[in-house]
Structure 1
Amino acid sequence: MERVLFTDVGEGLHEAEILQWFVNVGDTVERDEALVELQTDKVAIEVTAPKKGIIMQRIGDIGQRIIVGDTLVEVDTGEGAAAAQPAELEIASKPQSETAAMVAQPADRGQGPVRIKAAPSVRKLARELGVDIQLVHASAAHGRITKEDVRHAATGETPTEPSQKQEAAKVSVHRVAPVMGEKRREKISGVRKQMYQNIAHSLATIPHTTAMYDMQVDELNRVRKDLKAFTEQSLTYLPFFIKIAVHVLQENPIFNASIDEENEEIIYHENINIGVAMATKQGLIVPVIHNVETLSLEEIAAQLYDLTERGRDNKLSLHELKGATFTISSTGMRGGVYATPVMTAPQVAILGLHAMAEKPVILPDRTIGIGTVMGSSLSFDHRVIDGEAVGYFMEAFKSYVENPNRLLLKS
């Protein structure tokens, strides 16, 4: 009997949430066949079978939190008592979209996106048979697609009706007690649950203070348009803001620091790793551009585009979501004029960049005219950063934004 445990996946991640099961008690599994999908603080991972065998016990429900060392399943491998030691597992970090894609199945269009539940071996069979797994009717309990379902779809046969036990399981999953005035309920899970917990922890433990500034972006917009003619890379405003932030952080190193709470020390970082807050269908994620101080404007734009595209598809690796020393949250046109962004511990600051709008401004000749103005917000940890340092930071950032040619004087 093999006990399959949730093992340490590194990066300081010690717990996870059960997203979906691929097996039931009594199922026969092959070596390396997916057993369960877990959601850690950053990415989804699959736990696979160490050997061929029969599932004797499955521990934990969907949505349940588990910690390193917890038993997930017991597999009868037919090797007797000698195999009773916990299995050494290979847990592969992988994009959640490969095993838990959010799509609308035809039968559930009225209920919004649903999760396709199918083991990797089933998905592989679907690809081999040329079957669109999104259109396959699921006959197993909890809406799980089996190999037989895929074969039925490939031949055009009507799938066998699920057993009464399976139907009862489906009913128990979807039945919600009637509550007056409620339209529906949605479980807080996955990436959104991590955001839910992390933001609550950050606000509860870090004293947030926020400074807000207006900045004119007309000259920056002119430079951006001029440079677009010399590169095929997508050149939005954000690469400029990241490049400017690098110079300001080098001039004001306390903002590129973190706090060691246990030893009550400030850690000043040599490299600048900028996290870029990004909204996705799965929730808020923060991909990280590492060693930004070594990158050109064009290289920053290229990395930002790549992270954005893969972040939307939930295809980022764990490394690309860790190690930020400073964060920028660009809310864009829908973000309002000002906001109070929330820091991510142990960082000491986060910069929010908001909507641009035409407003009356004082022109260089001291007359009143129309200019494009952007609101900005810097939230900082007031335990280690005081108001004077924030003033230096924001004035420097504003100076670069309003006079972008200053970047030519820097390396």
Structure 2
Amino acid sequence: MATEIIMPQLGLTMEEGTIAKWIKQVGDKVAVGDVLVEITTDKLSSEIESEVEGVLLKIVAQEGEDIPVKGLLAIIGAEGEQVGAAPAPAAKKEEVQSEAPKAEAQPKAASVTEGGRVKASPLAKKIASELGVDLSTVAGSGPNGRIVQKDVLAAEVKPAVVEKAAPEVKAAPAAAPVQTANADVVKPLTNMRKVIAKRMQQSKNTAPHVTITTEVNVDKTIALRSKLNAKNADVRFSYTDILVKMCATALRNYPKINASITEDSMIFHDKINIGVAVALDDGLIVPVVSNADRKGLKAITKETKDLINKARTNTLSPDEMSGATFTISNLGSYDIDGFTPVINLPEAAILGVGRIVKKPIVNENDEIVPASMMVLSMSFDHRVVDGAQAAEFLKALKGYLEDPDNMYV
């Protein structure tokens, strides 16, 4: 009996996924646990494994398509088993392609409801906004005429089709680096890079960024870390671990920093979940320490180490990357003093952490003494947070770093 393979919900907030690459092809034998397809969401790339054995009889969702959760991806059954005709959405897609001259007359019938609402996936709407594409003029090839990502991209490049020869337009993108005549190397974007690019552009286009900085004397935090590492042989505390705990403590006292905004409301999050930016070869990933304000420093340290290891081995679960309410990006190990971090929407703020540098300062007795100094840079969404509120939060965090006992006052 044939089994339908559907788009799984890989996280609580997932609405759809993009087909990145089919690992199995029609006619291939499939065993339980075999990877069928790679999908990309707005948070990560995942491999979908087969829960049944048989033969891949039909691929319904093509590479590059946006498929909603529970949408049909493929059909697996016994060898030689007959399956029904392709679903209606696929037929509509072929109609759109074969009747190109009528494309301008059909979009509203397929993609706009009687009430004037455009039927489009969230990702398609976001890309259309970025590219300046009017969705009411786009024909949808998704289920029930829904506009998906590739429809928007196809609409955006239409002007170029008139100017270029047809063979050039149809040429497939290179699957490997290409050497051009002037020695430039052209590499196709990875799925992770595409997601990062879209999210960064969305953040800068949506949130009015403001960044404030302060310099902190971290001598006492260095002493605290050294003391903790000397007393605990089973774990090794990092400055990022300490900052996760300090930020979580400060966020409990400044709830407006632990918030997000919608078109007509503010959401003050009850949970304090700290995202920790981790650099990978292909880009950046942000695993999340959930309920960080309710955990001790040792528990945070163990959890952070585990999340970072999973991030680097591509074994994070979707829920371990979801729900962050504040993010920390530490570039101190790269000898960076200060920088302007980009907000990880829908969060209201992100903290950038620079390196620790020994330099002379003037103490409270007007004496010039050496001190270990660190630059903190916090970007915040000015729709949610005002400058004074952001400054108060950063001042509180500075107080914790300069004297960790302040966290318990």
| TM-score, structure 2 as length reference | 0.70
CA contact (8 A) 2:211 2:378 kept: yes
CA contact (8 A) 2:11 2:319 kept: no
Give the corresponding residue for 1:44.
46
Give the corresponding residue for 2:256.
254
User: What letter is aligned with 1:382?
Assistant: H
After TM superposition, the structure 1 = structure 2 runs for residues 226-375 of structure 1, keeping only pairs within 5 Å, are: 226-232=227-233, 233-259=235-261, 261-262=262-263, 264-334=264-334, 336-375=336-375
Give the corresponding residue for 1:165.
none
Once residues 4 and 247 of structure 1 are traced to their aligned partners in structure 2, the CA distance between those partners, rounded to angstroms, is 44
User: What letter is aligned with 1:313?
Assistant: T
Give the corresponding residue for 2:203.
202
Q: CA deviation at 1:226?
A: 1.7
User: What letter is aligned with 2:55?
Assistant: G
| TM-score, structure 1 as length reference | 0.70
Once residues 346 and 368 of structure 1 are traced to their aligned partners in structure 2, the CA distance between those partners, rounded to angstroms, is 44
Q: CA deviation at 1:189?
A: 2.3
CA contact (8 A) 1:29 1:55 kept: no
Structure 1 residues 178 and 244, CA gap change in structure 2 (3 angstroms): closer
CA contact (8 A) 1:340 1:379 kept: yes
Q: CA deviation at 1:295?
A: 1.0
Once residues 367 and 50 of structure 2 are traced to their aligned partners in structure 1, the CA distance between those partners, rounded to angstroms, is 69
Once residues 401 and 322 of structure 1 are traced to their aligned partners in structure 2, the CA distance between those partners, rounded to angstroms, is 28
Structure 1 residues 80 and 175, CA gap change in structure 2 (3 angstroms): closer
Once residues 248 and 341 of structure 1 are traced to their aligned partners in structure 2, the CA distance between those partners, rounded to angstroms, is 19
C-alpha root-mean-square deviation of aligned residues, in Å? Answer: 2.9
Once residues 367 and 253 of structure 2 are traced to their aligned partners in structure 1, the CA distance between those partners, rounded to angstroms, is 33
Identity of matched residues, %: 31
Give the corresponding residue for 1:217.
218
Q: CA deviation at 1:248?
A: 1.4
CA contact (8 A) 2:179 2:185 kept: no
After TM superposition, the structure 1 = structure 2 runs for residues 2-401 of structure 1, keeping only pairs within 5 Å, are: 4-30=5-31, 33-40=34-41, 41-48=43-50, 50=52, 52-53=54-55, 55-57=57-59, 60-61=62-63, 64-68=64-68, 71-75=72-76, 77=78, 78=80, 80=82, 179-232=180-233, 233-259=235-261, 261-262=262-263, 264-334=264-334, 336-401=336-401
For the residue of structure 2 that corresponds to 1:253, the secondary structure is coil
User: What letter is aligned with 1:205?
Assistant: T
Once residues 48 and 73 of structure 2 are traced to their aligned partners in structure 1, the CA distance between those partners, rounded to angstroms, is 12
Partner deviation per Cα, 1:201-234 (whole Å, 9 max, x = no partner): 0110000000011111112111211222211211
Structure 1 residues 186 and 178, CA gap change in structure 2 (3 angstroms): closer
Once residues 371 and 9 of structure 1 are traced to their aligned partners in structure 2, the CA distance between those partners, rounded to angstroms, is 47
Q: CA deviation at 1:83?
A: 10
Structure 1 residues 367 and 176, CA gap change in structure 2 (3 angstroms): closer
Once residues 194 and 8 of structure 1 are traced to their aligned partners in structure 2, the CA distance between those partners, rounded to angstroms, is 18
Once residues 226 and 28 of structure 1 are traced to their aligned partners in structure 2, the CA distance between those partners, rounded to angstroms, is 58
Once residues 300 and 374 of structure 2 are traced to their aligned partners in structure 1, the CA distance between those partners, rounded to angstroms, is 21
Once residues 388 and 185 of structure 1 are traced to their aligned partners in structure 2, the CA distance between those partners, rounded to angstroms, is 46
Which 10-residue stretch deviates more, 392-401 or 205-214?
392-401
Q: CA deviation at 1:402?
A: 0.8
User: What letter is aligned with 1:21?
Assistant: W
CA contact (8 A) 2:179 2:186 kept: no
For the residue of structure 2 that corresponds to 1:341, the secondary structure is coil
Q: CA deviation at 1:331?
A: 1.2
For the residue of structure 2 that corresponds to 1:255, the secondary structure is coil
Once residues 395 and 56 of structure 1 are traced to their aligned partners in structure 2, the CA distance between those partners, rounded to angstroms, is 59
Once residues 84 and 172 of structure 1 are traced to their aligned partners in structure 2, the CA distance between those partners, rounded to angstroms, is 27
